[in-house]
Structure 1
Amino acid sequence: MSEAASTRGRMSARRTTPAPRPSPALLPSLTPLLREWLPRQRWFAGKGRPIAGFTLVSATELLPPTASPGLVHLLVQTQQPVLPGQGAPQPADCYQLLLGVRAALPPPLASALIGRVTEGPLAGHTVYEALHDPRLAALLLERLRTPGTLGTLRFDRAPAAAIPAGLVPRLASVEQSNSSLIYGDSYILKVFRRVGHGINPDLELPLALAREGCARVPAPVAWYEAGGEDGREPLTLGVLQPYLRGSDDGWQLALRMLRAGLDFSAEARALGRATAEVHLALAAALPTVTLRRQQTAHLAAEMTSRLAAAAQAVPALRPYEPGLRTAFDALAELGGSGRAWPAQRIHGDLHLGQTLRAARGTSHAEGSGGGGGGGSWSLIDFEGEPASPITERRRPQPAVRDVAGMLRSFDYAARSHQPWNPRWAERCRAAYCEGYAESSGTDPRAEGELLRAYETDKAVYEVLYEARNRPDWLPVPMAAVRRLAEPGSATNPAQSPPRRPHP
């Protein structure tokens, strides 16, 4: 049983507060406002498709509207038709909304406006994005400080955690697929927006790593969930972790060093060691499996299917489709010949933006082997690819998938700088693999076919993403596509180590 699940068994002895039943008119009264507001949010996954309506999953008043401000927590499913050419119907997305309620919105909160309600139980009130309101953001932390239940919501914290009161909140400004609140430079609360049944990996994996004593990942301090009473797994809604104040975002650090003409190899090597340490701890903490003939064939088929779908959507990819497919064919052939690979829980969406480097002298990961660069590296954001179902994100996979994601990130960094510096990316990729081998004992480049397949799959994903969201960035993954589609393409331009024999 996971730590999050075991704590739910202790909830009966803690504060339990019934919540009033929501009025049936609540969601219909908000629907016109949400239909207009929701598609404009960075974290809304259904862009490009109209919203036909909403289904209310749950509604909980954390503060009644008469409190001024009130705070209403909603879980709503969107009803969106599939347009021609968009593929098969997908399960309805469920979103977590936190709505502030006031008679009138003060000027500092003008940017958080959702709209004014004209009918229903909130008629005459203004609703807005509650996370922008310091008073309501502070209430969320207070709920996490004092575990218990409120309606369908359950708040809990780690047994040894002592969260101080009165920490001033601010909303993080970084664009992301969720929302984050920083409390007094001490803690950061990630509020998941698109949610599903099952413990979120961004709670599950850091808890497991904390049990293993792995200092590379900030340990969860508190979290909150909803549901679970109907026999289904609950939905993870938010996780509070220590805020690594003064740390450098790995992506921004790499770009600064690149612009300054500085070599990033030492940092890349240290980051490779950190990644391997996390993989080793995850393999020790959670079950592992072996990918054999059938599983490898299925993996290669999934990659091939994604390539075909991407080529259909992005015409620029079509000339390279046959060359790219050879990476997946080679993987399937190896699996068919009896090659097997270990699979375990991994980060799932690893890139430079999911890493933090603390300056020397800070304490959060000192002594864990992070030398070789300017400071100690941590990995964050273990949610995995948000567009994938939670069940898929929790599936054991080869650790090489994370390595491939980081190799693609070095390439992105190098190509975002003009003039393009290919040697910078090559040195980083080689140093990262070398650092990984120093901690794990296995160089990822020794699994050339598997690494190439995962890097190709990642580049194909990037092409589709950039074509849909950032067309100006499309040349970056297309450059990788041209390289990976060449006959005999190697996943790393640096010399690969000799292949190790396999059983």
Structure 2
Amino acid sequence: MFDSTASNLTSQQSWVHLIQDHDAIRLLEITILPPYLNTCRWFAGKARQQSYFRIQFVHDIPFISGPETDEKAFLVILKVGYLDGETESYLLPLSFVELGQPDTPEILPKGIITGAVFNQKRGLVVDAIYDERFRGALYFNLVNQQVLLQKTGQLTFHRGRGLADDDSTGEVTSRVLPVDSSNSALVFSVPGQGEKYFLKLYRKLFQETNPEVELVSFLTEKSQFSHIPAYAGSVVWEQEGVPDVTLGMMQRMVENRHDSWNQTGDDLNDFLYAVPHRLFSIKEEVFDRVELLAKRTAQMHLALFNAEPDDSLFSPEPFTDDYREFIIQRFENLLERRYNLLIDNYTKLDPLAQRLAWVFMEAKEMIDEFVDDFRNRPLESLRIRIHGDYHLGQVLVTGTDFIIIDFEGEPESSISERKIKHSPLKDVAGAIRSYHYAVSAKLFGSVETAGIEPDHLQRVSERWFKLIRDTFMDAYLETIGSPHPLFKNSSEVNFLLLIYLLEKAVYELGYEINYRPAWVKIPLKGIMDVIREIEKIRIADPARDSELPRLQMGLLQPKKE
């Protein structure tokens, strides 16, 4: 329990002059902030050996009302160094709450950083997101499109179309969403309308505009696609001569029941309960929902395609040699690591996973040949900005429709890599793999099916998955329309979808080997499906001169006792 009477930081300066007290800054850097950050869910460096914490920049955020003394927060940019690897930068807003005052705000324990005395005033240094005054200042600056000059650059508050004109005046209340994630979430309530806006404060910073802000603002400001939380504004740190740094983004709140992953799990319950009775049952409404999500996905891609020709961030691009080499190099490195992981962990896998792993490893030459096809095959389809981390967990269920969220991109990729244009089929592959996970996890992880042979469960799950996959693809392509510049023809659609499905399943394989060995069969079966399709392409091509052996499908049969 934190002792609020303890004063771990004492300064003769007032809080507003914190930056001038070098001893206080050093105490924060060396003694106070390191242990605090290591308790925060959003701090990604906990598993690395840290060598230093340094306050690199400090920005002022004046509060809206009250006496000038001590009435401001600081946006602190912390640089964290490690014994190995690159440094990281984090955003930590700080405010000072004086104790014993009539209007002293109540601060949640997780927001208290240290007890402190500034200019003989006793109080708490806190993460300012837990201070109502700071949250109010953020909202005020956003609705008024303020520009706050700083010692280094300026803080610019951009207002978006999603922020209603009527919400520019009047008092708002706010709270911190009690969720642990890589960012912080603030919610603002407008009088008479309830909770209306959601502000995501980015904690780990990059010297570039966040891709989520680019995508959400583009879709809100320059398209008619309404199935996202509308862009309401952003907070950007601007410096002359260097890329902008995105500190936060505000969007409209969306009422929702749950995400599409949970809804799909609910839809699978009836199917699951029928399996032990050797019944196969899918309600018609399940297909209706899959078709609708496919339609919304296609509409999102059509909106991202319709950029102005001179808009370099969003205008479509061809499949260049550089792009192909980027994908190939990333995939080949990924593939090599996954082969090694399978070899090292083979004995930990269950019999079904072991058989799938054997076929995967025996098919290495066939996969290599397929990758060479991607390098050399003429492709006339186009690439655009896409969601980048698309799966059922990124789709909210709102009554009878869907809202797509979280456009930050792949968490393990750099910001520059997240902005690379891909075929929208990469998003489609993410959705398809997510459906495969949903049915596999439900059947292999439920008590109701615990006594059923894994091979039988595999066959049943595949039947469900293929029906759902085909339903999704048919509705997606019908919405895109044919012909469409995004996709040259059905042959290129099938080829590119296999590329992204294979990459996605191989990526998933590493996570399951490391964290959920019982689930390794799920990505392995996804890989197997792609390999089978690759072989069909080889067999159907009379011009192909290849002496590679056929797939060793006999390895998938269980050994007879």
TM-score (norm 2): 0.71
| Partner deviation per Cα, 1:31-89 (whole Å, 9 max, x = no partner) | 3333223233333333421211123332123258996785321112211122xxxxxx3
Contact 2:506 2:523 (8 Å CA) reproduced: no
Aligned partners of 1:254 and 1:46: how far apart in 2?
34
Report the equivalent of 1:95.
Answer: 90
* CA–CA separation in structure 1 for the residues paired with 2:532 and 2:345: 20
Tell me the residue number matched to 1:219: 230
Q: Which sits farther off after the overlay, 23-32 or 410-419?
A: 23-32
Give the conservation status (yes or no) of the 8 Å contact 1:272–1:436. yes
Alignment gaps of 5+ in structure 2: 1-15, 190-194, 272-281, 308-313, 347-356, 450-456, 535-539, 542-561
Work out the CA distance in 1 between the residues paired with 2:507 and 2:32: 33
With 135-144 and 432-441 compared, the bigger mean Cα shift is at 135-144
Match of 2:44 in 1: 45
CA-to-partner distance for each residue in 1:142-200, whole Å, 9 max, x for gaps? 22122212323221213674235433323223443222222222111111121212222
Matched letter for residue 481 of structure 2: G
Cα distance change, pair 327–382 in 1 and its aligned pair in 2 (3 A): farther
Confirm or deny that 1:426 pairs with 2:470: no
Change in CA separation of 1:123 and 1:203 when aligned onto 2, cut-off 3 Å: same
Is residue 532 of structure 2 the alignment partner of residue 489 of structure 1? yes
Q: Distance in 1 between matches of 2:119 and 2:327?
A: 50
2:255 to 245, 250, 253: 245
2:234 and 2:249 in contact (8 A); partners too: yes
Q: Residue 60 of structure 2 aligns with which residue?
A: 61
For 1:312 and 1:328, locate their aligned partners in 2 and report how far apart those are by CA, in whole Å. 16
> Structure 1 residue 467: deviation in Å?
5.5
Structure with max Cα Rg: 2
2:146 and 2:178 mapped to 1: Cα distance? 30
Q: 1:416 is aligned with what amino acid? A: A
* Equivalent residue in structure 1 for 2:494, among 427, 448, 455: 448
Shift of 1:490: 3.9
Question: Which of these residues, 392, 395, 412, is aligned with residue 355 of structure 1?
Answer: 395
Structure 2 counterpart of 1:441, which letter? G
CA distance in 2, matches of 1:487, 1:279: 24
Partner of 2:318: 290
Distance 1:452 1:108, change over 3 A: same
**Which of 8, 19, 24 is matched with 1:22 structurally?**
19
Question: What is the rounded CA distance, in whole Å, between the counterparts of 1:334 and 1:379 in structure 2?
Answer: 30
- Change in 2 beyond 3 A, CA 1:252/1:134: farther
Structure 2 counterparts to residues 304-323 of structure 1, below 5 A = 304-312=332-340, 315-316=344-345, 320=360, 323=363
Give the distance between the partners of 2:72 and 2:266, measured in 1 at CA: 43
What is the CA–CA distance in structure 1 between the aligned matches of 2:235 and 2:503, rounded to whole Å?
Answer: 34
* RMSD between aligned residues: 3.5
Encode CA deviations 1:419-449: one digit per residue, 9 max, x unaligned. 4661443333222212211211369985334
Q: Deviations over 1:205-247 (max 9, x none)?
A: 1222221222222331111111322x11111111111111245
Separation (CA, whole Å) in 1 of partners of 2:179 and 2:135? 17
Structure 1 residue aligned with 2:184: 179
- 1:250-273 per-position Cα deviation (integer Å, ceiling 9, x unaligned): 222222222354643221111111
Kindly indicate whether the alpha-carbon contact (under 8 Å) linking 1:293 and 1:339 is maintained by their aligned counterparts in 2: no
Letter in 2 for 1:136: F
Task: Write out aligned runs for 1:34-433 (5 A).
Answer: 34-63=33-62, 71-82=73-84, 89=85, 91-103=86-98, 109-116=108-115, 125-150=123-148, 151=150, 152-158=154-160, 161-162=164-165, 163-164=167-168, 165-184=170-189, 185-210=195-220, 211-229=222-240, 231-246=241-256, 248-261=258-271, 263=283, 264-285=286-307, 286-312=314-340, 315-316=344-345, 320=360, 323=363, 326-327=366-367, 329-359=369-399, 375-417=400-442, 418=446, 419=449, 422=461, 423-433=463-473
Give the 3-state SS of the residue equivalent to 2:50 in structure 1. Answer: coil
How many residues align? The count is: 449
Q: What is aligned with 1:370?
A: none
Equivalence map 1:465-484=2 (5 Å): 465=511, 471=515, 473-476=516-519, 478-484=521-527
Match of 2:558 in 1: none
Structure 2 letter corresponding to 1:147 = Q
TM-score normalized with structure 1 length? 0.78
Task: Letter of the 2:398 partner, please give it.
Answer: A
The runs of 5 or more residues in structure 1 that have no matched partner are 1-18, 83-88, 360-374, 492-497
For 1:26 and 1:466, locate their aligned partners in 2 and report how far apart those are by CA, in whole Å. 46
Change (3 A) 1:303 1:136: same
Q: Secondary structure at the match of 2:249?
A: strand
CA pair 218-117 structure 1, distance change in 2 beyond 3 A: same
1:144 partner letter: L
Aligned-partner residue type, residue 300 of structure 1? I
Q: Give a deviation string over 1:79-107, Cα, whole Å, max 9, x none.
A: 1122xxxxxx3x32221112343355977
- Supply the distance in 1 between the matched residues of 2:421 and 2:465 (Cα, whole angstroms): 29
d(CA) in 1 for partners of 2:212 and 2:423?
18
CA contact (8 A) 1:249 1:357 kept: yes
Secondary structure of residue in 1 paired with 2:470: helix
Match of 2:505 in 1: 459
Could you tell me how far apart the structure 2 residues matched to 1:25 and 1:430 are? 65
SS in 1 for 2:324: helix
Please identify, of 71-80 and 454-463, the stretch whose mean Cα deviation from structure 2 is larger. 454-463
Counterparts of 1:356 and 1:440, CA distance in 2: 22
Deviating more after overlay: 279-288 vs 438-447: 438-447
Cα distance in 2 between the residues matched to 1:226 and 1:479: 43
In structure 2, distance between residues paired with 1:124 and 1:459: 56
Closer, same or farther in 2 for the Cα pair 1:235/1:308, shift >3 Å?
same
Residue 208 of structure 1 aligns to a residue whose secondary structure is helix
- Native 8 Å contact 2:19 2:25 kept in 1: no
Provide the C-alpha distance between the structure 1 equivalents of 2:120 and 2:468, rounded to a whole number of angstroms: 55
Q: Could you say if the C-alpha distance between residues 258 and 41 of structure 1 is closer, same or farther in structure 2, counting changes exceeding 3 Å?
A: farther
